[in-house]
Structure 1
Amino acid sequence: MTTAAAPAATLRPARRTRMTRHGFATLTRTQATLLLREPAALVWLALPMLLLLVFGNIPGFLTPQATLGGRRVIDVYVPTIAAMVPLFLALTALPMTMAAHREKDVLRRLSASPVPATGMLAALVTVIAALAALGVTAVVTVGALAFHVSTPANPAAVLSSFLLGATAVLALGLLVAARARTGTAASAMGVPLMVLNFFASGLYFPVAQMPRLLQHVTEYIPFGAVMAAWDGRGALWQHLAVLAAYTLLAGTAAARWFRWE
């Protein structure tokens, strides 16, 4: 009886242990290494900067436009290009990385180890958030120094909306990551969300040139709300409430529906 019970016991999931600070740091470094090995990681960070440099060297983009309220095209596009970084990372890198782990049975093996799911997810989100902060800071800094893009009228409002906007799309990315079985499925779900946020943030054409009704609609899409806060459109509390709602609802759903296989 003893010998028969032993193999069965080995199939039971390992008892979860509390993750130490050292263990979390090690897991975070591992996630960073795995993510930065992907060639696409360079695209996620380099494409927005390349786009900024191209736009900044188009003479027409450096001339004030009456249709933009006297602002230049480059003034309008710097926050939009900065928004590309968290959108790329949260809605493509995050879910596709998780889906790749799931496809390779990494998650299934981790489910039978002492590593808690929350620890692994937190490590990946930490890496994504750090890269997003680095990318946004680089785009805004180059825009200010190289193309003299002025700071927004309310920097605190912009900073809070960008931070909350990043958490909102990270929560959406986690929701996709929680359910997508394959990288293809993750891309099929994440890319449309990214494109929708690109549109709402004014990447395809400036929000100021959209019909008034459409401008209001974009304020209920995460990075449409962020751009509204940057431009000073509408009530700040409303934009922050929209972003907080996305963070809470998508984050809760992701935690509830997460699966290892």
Structure 2
Amino acid sequence: MTTLPAPAGPSSLRRIGALATAETRLLARNRTAVVNSVLMPLLLVGFVAVVGGDGMLGVDLLVAAAGFTLVFLTYYNLVTTYVARREDLVLQRMRTGELTDAEVLAGTAAPTLLVTAVQIGLVAVGVAVLGRWTAPVDLLLPVLAVLLGAVVMVVLATASTVFTRTPESAQITTLPVVMGATALSGLFFPLSVLPEGLATVARLLPLTPVVELLQLGVAGRTWNGEVVAGAELWWAALAPLGVLLAWTAIAGFATARWFRWAPRR
């Protein structure tokens, strides 16, 4: 007898795409989530622009857009999404099918990451239309900043669900990142005005290296205001890149070790 090979199932990308499509529909039906995801970060960027006055450069607007979007949209929204799916037993049910753990987490995060990319892109277009665009000193660094920043915010979100019991309690459990890391990220004031010890601590927070890389790539400006180019530019980028990779490893380990797929009963 000839044994027929088992039919091949859908690829990993197709499985993630199917889950991402379903999550996108759920996001679109939740008006509160849509408002918080789309309008709130843009309002915050607008506030920064007003405070900055006429001297606010397009560079600063782009950096603010990326920073606020990664924290308030990617990180906070994913914490509430993961916790809500866990408490509704959705994550537990999805693990019983063909999806792997990584595919479940990636598919759930995909719509939020798409909105993040579109939002930053729209701000860039708006800056260009307003005539406040300046060509990046190094295009690769801003791309790396956004990509690595998004990865860090996703793994931080999954790690934050460990001590977040309900979607409502995320308003409290996310404060260290939403308020603390954002306040000391360099978005509101240059870190060079802080005492040396506090500035060093601030540079080790998860959002600060994203801001540093964006400023380096777009304006060629370091965290303390020094203008660099060429090899010095990438030498200055090594420290923030290392911090982002370290946060990815730490939060990834915490997720693998303590992430809960089912509610605590």
Contact 1:218/1:225 (8 A) holds in 2? no
* 2:78 matches 1:99: no
Contact 2:155/2:255 (8 A) holds in 1? yes
Distance change >3 Å, CA 123–CA 129, structure 1 → 2? same
Within the candidate set 147, 164, 182, 1:180 is matched to 164
Task: Give the equivalent residue in structure 1 for 2:108.
Answer: 124
Percent sequence identity over matched residues?
A: 25
SS at match of 1:197: helix
Residues 64-113 of structure 1, C-alpha deviation per residue, up to 9 Å, x if partnerless? xxxxxxxx366434312321112122321111111111222223333444
Query: In the TM superposition, what are the counterparts of 1:209-224 in structure 2 within 5 Å?
Result: 210-211=193-194, 213=196, 214-224=198-208
SS at match of 1:183: coil
Residues 127-147 of structure 1, C-alpha deviation per residue, up to 9 Å, x if partnerless? 222221111111222123215
Task: Give the equivalent residue in structure 1 for 2:227.
Answer: none
Specify every segment of 5 or more residues in structure 1 that has no aligned partner in the other structure, as ranges: 1-16, 64-71
SS at match of 2:174: helix
Task: Give the equivalent residue in structure 2 for 1:11.
Answer: none
Contact 2:57/2:132 (8 A) holds in 1? no
* 2:18 matches 1:29: no
Distance change >3 Å, CA 62–CA 106, structure 1 → 2? same
Query: In the TM superposition, what are the counterparts of 1:1-150 in structure 2 within 5 Å?
Result: 20=11, 21-38=13-30, 39-53=32-46, 56=49, 61-63=53-55, 72=56, 75-150=59-134
Residues of 2 paired with 1:27 and 1:110: CA distance? 10
Whichever residue aligns with residue 92 of structure 1, its letter is Y
- 1:57 CA drift (Å): 6.0
Whichever residue aligns with residue 76 of structure 1, its letter is D
Distance change >3 Å, CA 48–CA 112, structure 1 → 2? closer
Contact 1:52/1:139 (8 A) holds in 2? no
SS at match of 1:222: coil
More helix by percentage? 1
Whichever residue aligns with residue 211 of structure 1, its letter is L
Asked which structure has the greater CA Rg, the reply is 1
Distance change >3 Å, CA 108–CA 55, structure 1 → 2? closer
Whichever residue aligns with residue 104 of structure 1, its letter is D
TM-score of the pair, normalised by structure 1: 0.77
Residues of 2 paired with 1:97 and 1:110: CA distance? 15
SS at match of 1:119: helix
Specify every segment of 5 or more residues in structure 2 that has no aligned partner in the other structure, as ranges: 1-7, 216-220, 224-235
SS at match of 1:153: coil
RMSD: 2.7
Count residues with an aligned counterpart: 235
Distance change >3 Å, CA 233–CA 217, structure 1 → 2? farther
Distance change >3 Å, CA 101–CA 179, structure 1 → 2? same
Whichever residue aligns with residue 254 of structure 2, its letter is A
Task: Give the equivalent residue in structure 1 for 2:226.
Answer: none
TM-score of the pair, normalised by structure 2: 0.76
Distance change >3 Å, CA 174–CA 29, structure 1 → 2? same
Distance change >3 Å, CA 208–CA 61, structure 1 → 2? farther
Residues 10-47 of structure 1, C-alpha deviation per residue, up to 9 Å, x if partnerless? xxxxxxx9763433321110111112322222222222
